[in-house]
Amino acid sequence: MAFRKKANLLLAYKPDILVIQECECIEKLSFTNCATKPTNILWFGNNQHKGLAILSYGDLKLSVLDVHNKDFQTIVPIAVTGGESDFNLFAVWAFNPTDPDGRYIEQVWKAIHYYNDLLSPKNTVLAGDFNSNTIWDRKRRAGNHSNVVKYLADRSIQSAYHLYYQQTQGKEEHPTFYLYRHLNKPYHIDYCFVSENMAKRLSAVEVGDHTAWSAYSDHVPLIVTIEPCLG
């Protein structure tokens, strides 16, 4: 929350795209003190203080795809254009307290089935707070974390973090979330899934340090670097 007070911390990394959860609405955002202004801002949510924001910088432009199903209000398909190559970004905040079928990973499970035709092994990214991990799988429920991972893997879309660090789902060495900001309550619940052609150009994945970020959030940044396509 209060992203306007933290923007410069993330801008130090010179991002091309930011996916921010629990972000205040566009009307409340201010970048007057930021050296770099976003090119585009998209925002989704029912609470003006806590929604999903997507910001682009430089030449990148964002536009919501016409197929956006508002039942998945904070899982949004976005066309990213203006860079070396265009791609589809699914910005994720897996949270819907009004859905009786499940408010967290179940939202992602429903969304990836609905948007199945867009889940290409080329130029596809899903990034954000999935609020899930294999350790919380409900075995008798189809919409669990492991099944989401498998469904994407069957379409040649995999977690950048797990590829880069050669990690196993559910046994991550680098937490992205600390419950109540407590160091002894770490979990990995934020992900960036990338398609096969982008995975080949994956050059770095960084997970923020608790010490550096706990004063600002219970999450730490997940930063993924993909080199430009030369062909």
In the chain, domain spans: 3-226
- Tokens read off for 119: 């889940």
Topology annotation, domain 3-226:
Deoxyribonuclease I; Chain A (3.60.10)
Q: What is the pLDDT of residue 3?
A: 81
Look up residue 150 and give its DSSP letter: H
Judge contact between 161 and 167, C-beta under 8 A.
Answer: yes
Give me the torsion for CA of 106, 107, 108, 109, rounded to 10°. Answer: 50
Amino acid at 89: L
Task: For residues 87 and 103, give the distance between their C-alpha atoms in angstroms, rounded to a whole number.
Answer: 28
Task: For residues 222 and 231, give the distance between their C-alpha atoms in angstroms, rounded to a whole number.
Answer: 27
Count Cβ neighbours within 10 Å for each residue of 2-21 and write b for 16 or more, e otherwise: ebbebbeebbeeebbbbbbb
What size, in residues, is the chain?
231
Residue 174's contacts (CB-CB under 8 Å, 6 or more residues apart) are 161, 165, 188, 207
Q: What is the pLDDT of residue 31?
A: 75
Q: What is the pLDDT of residue 129?
A: 98
Amino acid at 17: I
Residues of the chain with pLDDT under 70: 1, 35, 230-231
Q: What is the pLDDT of residue 52?
A: 96
Q: What is the pLDDT of residue 229?
A: 76
Beta strands in the chain (DSSP E): 17-23, 40-47, 50-56, 61-64, 75-81, 87-93, 124-129, 157-159, 177-178, 186-187, 190-195, 202-207, 222-226
Q: What is the pLDDT of residue 228?
A: 87
Based on its alpha-carbon atoms, the radius of gyration of the chain, rounded to whole angstroms, reads 17
Q: What is the pLDDT of residue 230?
A: 62
pTM over 0.85: yes
How far does Cα 92 stand from its chain's mean position? 5
